[in-house]
Structure 1
Amino acid sequence: MILRSRLFVRLFLAIFGLVTVATIATAVFAHAWRESPDLSSQLVQWVVVVWVVAAVAAALVVRSVVVPLAELTRAARAIESGDYGDRVPVRSDDDVGDLARSLNQISGELGERLSQLRERDERQAAVLGGMSEGVVAVDRTQRVLFANTAAGKMFGFLPPSAVERPLLEVIREHTLQEAVAEVLRTRKPKRIEMAWQLDAPRVLAVQITPLPRSVDVGAVIVLHDNTELRRLETIRQEFIANVSHELKTPLSSIMAYTETLQDGAVNDHTIRDQFLQRIAEQGARLNALIQDMLSLARIETAQQPFEIVPLEVGPVIHRSMDDYAQHAEAKSIELKIEGDEPVLRASADEEGLRTICNNLIDNAVKYTPEGGRVVVSWRREADTVRIEVADNGPGIPRSDVSRVFERFYRVDKARSRELGSTGLGLSIVKHLVQSFAGQVGVESQPGQGCRFWVELPAAE
């Protein structure tokens, strides 16, 4: 193997040649010295010169090997320190040159692969960091290997500070820790749901998956916030229960009156007329409920077309007040307009604005006691038109104010049904106002009445 080395052949020939030349020169000079003793000092000088030249030539030969080896050593240390951009000059075509070319190629490939790995890690970090789901990776001892931003927000910790810390120390939840321990023990995925409260109560769906043995024997924890899903599920269940109850009450009354009539009461004109009147009232209540439900469904699903145009607010409010003037007069309620009725325009759909005003005025008239007062006003505020409907009724308890715009929510359920309320009017108002890019709210003090307000974008 060594005989095929070009470096060995070159060095061998160079050194062998130098030694041979020096030896021959020494022998020649020795022979000449024996033949001519008078030339001894001169011959010694020539011998010294020959050996000095040989030594210098040998040093140059050794340097031709040592310098490339030193450069190779420097390049190897640069690679060890992570500098893959350094290159070794290729000074020959021998073994050292081949080694230099190989080292340069290895350095380039390592640099390229490291760059690819960094880019891949950065992409993975960006993907994991941008996920809405929390991701936490742990090793076999449940020490955190990685945590993304979403996980940090869910549990209130900084992801970089969680690395190498025990999972239970980072997320103080024994249910999660026990589930991870089970996955690490059985090597089988597990899914759980747990409650967690940081700034607000949350419901988290947790998927725990063991890492492949070729990677690690730890596990990956993926956390999804199901709070909104559970809230919507609760709303759906409450909605079904409320609809069932709202439909059941008038249907039960209609069926009871009908059965009584069928059992012979139809022959009694007084009872018959009274029961037929009740059946008509309950039918009208059912019809109003179904119409409100259909309207709300169309608004929520954006199936109801709106023609949003600059619309003069005053005439719409006047027509709504005219619709409820007789009802207010029957209860001796003062229904009045407050202010100078400026000509203001808002961006809205005319029929939608009429529905908003009707529901707010109807709600105020219904819940204001006899002899009370309902005041309607509107004015310009910055870039909005603000419509207010105020009454001096019983008001709304503080605990109920935030829920009055929910479907079927009633502060006084018994009185609301007695007044014929479907429980959907304010919810329809809220969704209509949102469809017009506006806002709606209520201000109330128990015993001092309510003030419902709507703000719509102003139009020139």
Structure 2
Amino acid sequence: MILRTRLFLRRYVAIFGVVALATIVTAMLANQWHDSDRFGTLLVRLVLVVLGIAGVLSYFIVRSVVNPLLELCRATRAIGEGDYGQRVPVRTDDELGDLARSVNQISGELGNRLLQLHASDERQAAVLGGMVEGVIAVDNQEHVLFANAAAGRMFGFMPPSAEGRRLLEVVRDHTLQQAVSDVLEKRKPQTLEIEWQLDTPKILAAQVTPLPGSEDVGAVIVLHDNSELRRLETIRQEFIANVSHELKTPLSSMMAYAETLQRGALDDSEIRDSFLARIMEQGERLNNLIQDMLRLARIETAQQPFEIEPVDVGAVLGQCVHDYHTQAEAKSIELVYEPPADKTYASADEEGLRVICNNLIDNALKYTPDGGRVEVRWRRDNDTVLLEVKDNGPGIPRGDAARVFERFYRVDKARSRELGSTGLGLSIVKHLVQSFSGAVGVESQPGHGSRFWVELPTAR
């Protein structure tokens, strides 16, 4: 409405000039101005005055229309360049004012939408960056659009440098590349397993899914590292096999002896007594195996209650050495006990420490030949208490030393069973030491004996 009024005023100025000029000329003629020179001069002056007034009025009217338009142009140009904080001053209530308010509202809404998009992108980046699963997005030409940090760790590349490159250049695995090609072509998800070798072998489960939208948007790959799960499954299978074998061996022996006695050997006192002794021996072995398995299960599942307190290491080891003197004398083994001058206290559970010492000493005595030597000593070393059990037995090959703390692992399986070993003693030692926030290890050379050591925190 106001804009139409301004246009009307411009036309009115022009009409006003013409009417005024005609009125003046008519008045002059009516008054019979006969002096043509004076009449012409006055006429020119009047025309100039009228035109000047019309020009001034036209200038202000045009400026009131053009200046807001120029401000709108500058503001829309700035908004187009990304300056969503740009605002157009609203000076009038006409159509130009309405247009300025609309531009300001659009600019504000665009700015808010941009902030929301930035916040959404940051949240998405934080979520994807914190995922343990690897995520790789590719376009329909198999170029990498995005890869998170987990995917980079799995395949050994830097995610920012992978963007824009072909998937096969980043992850040189033809199985994965073929699966992505099939998904892009058929638009159906696929699941596959990848064996990947970086620093260590890995088993990766991959889910390739087409991105929603048109057929040329690409696909996303989600990767999960199943290496630890596969390792645990292997351990579980080995454990079940070992337990079955360890339980089957004494049971088979007991059943064989009992069957022989049933078939008439009961009448022979010598055979009967020998077989009953073997049955008792195998029954004791079976009982020890079951007890060790239960103890290990309680320790691993944190169901074994421990009372962590300062424990006098000398008192516990002294009692353990005393308990094994008879076994050492039976094999003519010299059991050396070397206590330090001062009392040493470790932060541990007393009964748990006793089990650790018993297992280490028993293991050393079993594998040390007759007439050998076993040394038991301990000392304080800064903030730890170091326990050592050293023997001069056959020693352990280098490849087996790292595995002696595994359940049911034996260097010489036949000899271990002959000695009555359950194969769980050193595994119990390892888990007990870890429960006391300590460390355990072995140093050995074939033919030069072994040295088992345990580090426990010093009691404060």
TM-score (norm 2): 0.96
The match for 1:15 is 10
**Which SS does the other structure have where 1:220 is aligned?**
strand
**Which SS does the other structure have where 1:304 is aligned?**
coil
The match for 1:454 is 454
Q: How does 1:159-238 map to 2 (within 5 A)?
A: 159-213=159-213, 217-238=217-238
Deviation, 1:43, is: 3.7
Write the distance in 1 (CA, Å) between the matches of 2:372 and 2:328: 9
Write the distance in 2 (CA, Å) between the matches of 1:261 and 1:271: 8
Write the distance in 2 (CA, Å) between the matches of 1:226 and 1:442: 31
Write the distance in 2 (CA, Å) between the matches of 1:121 and 1:12: 50
Deviation, 1:321, is: 0.6
Write the distance in 1 (CA, Å) between the matches of 2:24 and 2:147: 84
* Contact 1:250 1:285 survives alignment (8 Å): yes
The match for 1:283 is 283
Change (3 A) 1:339 1:305: closer
Please tell me whether residue 31 in structure 1 is matched to residue 26 in structure 2. Answer: yes
Letter in 2 for 1:24: V
* Contact 1:29 1:47 survives alignment (8 Å): no
Letter in 2 for 1:110: L
Write the distance in 2 (CA, Å) between the matches of 1:233 and 1:321: 39
* Contact 1:440 1:454 survives alignment (8 Å): yes
| CA deviation map 1:387-414 (0-9, x unaligned) | 1111111111111111111000111111
Deviation, 1:46, is: 3.1
Write the distance in 1 (CA, Å) between the matches of 2:455 and 2:88: 75
The match for 1:41 is 41
Deviation, 1:39, is: 4.6
* Contact 1:441 1:452 survives alignment (8 Å): yes
Q: How much is the aligned-residue C-alpha RMSD, in angstroms? A: 1.4
Write the distance in 1 (CA, Å) between the matches of 2:24 and 2:337: 136
The match for 1:144 is 144
Deviation, 1:41, is: 2.4
* Contact 1:375 1:389 survives alignment (8 Å): yes
| Unmatched segments (≥5 aa) in structure 1 | none
* Contact 1:378 1:388 survives alignment (8 Å): yes
| CA deviation map 1:361-391 (0-9, x unaligned) | 1111111111211111111112111111111
Write the distance in 1 (CA, Å) between the matches of 2:216 and 2:250: 65
Write the distance in 1 (CA, Å) between the matches of 2:149 and 2:68: 50
| CA deviation map 1:172-207 (0-9, x unaligned) | 000101111111222111111111011110000111
The match for 2:333 is 333
* Contact 2:211 2:218 survives alignment (8 Å): yes
* Contact 1:339 1:377 survives alignment (8 Å): yes
Change (3 A) 1:134 1:29: same
**Which SS does the other structure have where 1:443 is aligned?**
strand
* Contact 1:341 1:378 survives alignment (8 Å): no
Deviation, 1:33, is: 5.3
The match for 1:314 is 314
* Contact 2:314 2:339 survives alignment (8 Å): no
Deviation, 1:445, is: 1.7
The match for 1:390 is 390
TM-score (norm 1): 0.96
Letter in 1 for 2:98: D
Change (3 A) 1:345 1:418: same
Deviation, 1:340, is: 2.7
| CA deviation map 1:199-222 (0-9, x unaligned) | 110000111111112596311110
Letter in 1 for 2:16: V
Please tell me whether residue 408 in structure 1 is matched to residue 408 in structure 2. Answer: yes
The match for 1:274 is 274
| CA deviation map 1:6-27 (0-9, x unaligned) | 41x1222220121122112222
Write the distance in 1 (CA, Å) between the matches of 2:215 and 2:9: 54
Question: Identical aligned pairs, as a percentage?
Answer: 68
The match for 1:324 is 324
The match for 1:262 is 262
**Which SS does the other structure have where 2:234 is aligned?**
helix
| CA deviation map 1:392-441 (0-9, x unaligned) | 11111111111111000111111111111000000000110111111111
* Contact 1:395 1:446 survives alignment (8 Å): yes
Please tell me whether residue 121 in structure 1 is matched to residue 121 in structure 2. Answer: yes
Change (3 A) 1:444 1:117: same
**Runs of at least 4 residues of structure 1 off by over 6 A?**
none
Write the distance in 2 (CA, Å) between the matches of 1:67 and 1:268: 127
